[in-house]
Amino acid sequence: MGFRKKSKSPPVLSHEFVIQNHADMVSCVAMIVLLGLMFEMTAKFAIMFITVQYNVTETLDTDAEDKPEPVSYYKYGPKDMATVFFYLLIAIILHALIQEYILDKINRRLHLSKTKHSKFNESGQLATFYSFSFIWGCSILTNEEFVTNPTFLWEGYPHIHMAFQVKFFYICQIAYWFHALPELYFQKVRKEDIPRQLYYICLYIFHITGAYVLNLHRLGLVLLVPHYLVELLFHASRLFYFSDENKQKGFTLWALLFVITRLLTLTVSVLTFGFGLSRTDNQGFSLAEGNFNVLTVRVTCLSAICLTQAWMMWKFINFQLKKWREQSQIQASKKKAVSPKSRPSKKDSRGGSVNGVMKPEDKTSPRERKPKAS
């Protein structure tokens, strides 16, 4: 019976040791926070990390004779940073589970190169997150009726009160994109891929946190859901492409929806900042009330969205041009490979002669010599 050779374990607290065991370390930290709920002295601090904070209860007036029903809403505040930190730890643990038990097993079957291997892992993680966030966002939009009434995006601003699902959605979104920063180190992302991933990670953090802090969570939800659908389609298409390079139809649908989503984002943003918020009665700037409805903030937000959409379109156009050039080069190389076979050889170009002698099937024949007179 043969025994499996044990690989040498790296030194404790070395880079390789941290990378290999980062999920176990993070799970230990999360368990310490959960154990804090068991003791009365630490329970109030542990709850700050686990549960959503800043609960506000309001009573809804109804026309019926029954008593008004209390409804719970939530605000944001500094304690949300503790909640984001805890769910950041949960995101790192889930990331490691998906990587080890799903993506690594598929990678062993596909036998991908190093470049495709890193892109496959990136698309696998993001496709899982986008699918979950898209379904969750659609359920919130359906329950809150954001889509059926467009004026709901700016009426009653500032929208300082959030439903539990809305606030928890934003907490998880911010936690996930913050967790993506240390994952660049944990996953040993290649140096040439780090700038590209840093760009979109920072853009997500900037826009989602901005919508959360400026009380624009309704607009943020409406813009995030279609964007996540497009990104889900792209990464799902890339996963199918890595499994079979002939499966490229998903990229065509993605390209169409990408352009439509960019136009939809610009339209909704201009409608909200240019026409909706600018005409509301509650104009002014107040940190205590959470009101940021002034011209400077509106122009800054609209400019940030427009610049981001322009940058995304620029990257999209460059991607399409690069893909078109690669396809044209492949077609040109195929033509060059076929063309020498169709050209006539030098032997055949001499009028049907072989080694200077005419073929017998040719109609022409060499001139006969006249016999010498005797």
Residue 349: CB atoms within 10 Å:
10
pLDDT of the residue at 345: 52
Single out the residue of 210, 231, 232, 208 nearest to residue 221, CA to CA: 208
Q: pLDDT at position 339, please?
A: 63
pLDDT at 149: 80
Query: Beta strand 284-286 with 69-74: parallel, antiparallel or unpaired?
Result: unpaired
The pLDDT score that the predictor gives to residue 342 is: 53
Count the residues in the chain.
Answer: 374
Q: What is the DSSP letter of 368?
A: P
Per-residue pLDDT, 372: 53
Question: For residue 357, which phi and psi values (nearest 5 degrees)?
Answer: -110, 130
In 3-state terms the chain splits into helix, strand, coil percentages (rounded to 5) of 70, 5, 25
Which residue spans within 55-109 are E strands per DSSP? 55-60, 69-74
Closest CA to 77 of 59, 50, 44, 52: 52
CA distance 171 to 209: 9
Residue whose token pair is 């008593």: 67
Whether 288 contacts 251, CB under 8 Å: no
Q: Alpha-carbon distance 82 to 249, whole Å?
A: 44
Spell out the per-residue pLDDT of the chain, length 374, in tens.
Answer: 444 444 577 887 788 888 889 999 999 999 999 999 999 899 999 999 999 999 988 876 655 556 677 888 999 999 999 999 999 999 999 999 999 999 999 988 888 888 888 899 999 999 999 999 999 999 999 887 766 788 889 988 999 999 999 999 999 999 999 999 999 999 988 889 999 999 999 999 999 999 999 999 999 999 999 999 999 999 999 999 888 777 778 889 999 999 999 999 999 999 999 999 988 888 899 998 999 999 999 999 999 999 999 999 999 999 889 888 887 887 788 777 766 555 555 544 455 545 444 555 544 555 555 555 54
Measured from the Cβ of residue 187, the count of other Cβ atoms closer than 10 Å reads 19
Neighbouring-strand partners of residue 291: 286
Cβ burial, residue 138 (10 Å; 0-12/13-18/19+): middle
The secondary structure of 231-260 as a DSSP string is HHHHHHHHHHHHH-TT--HHHHHHHHHHHH
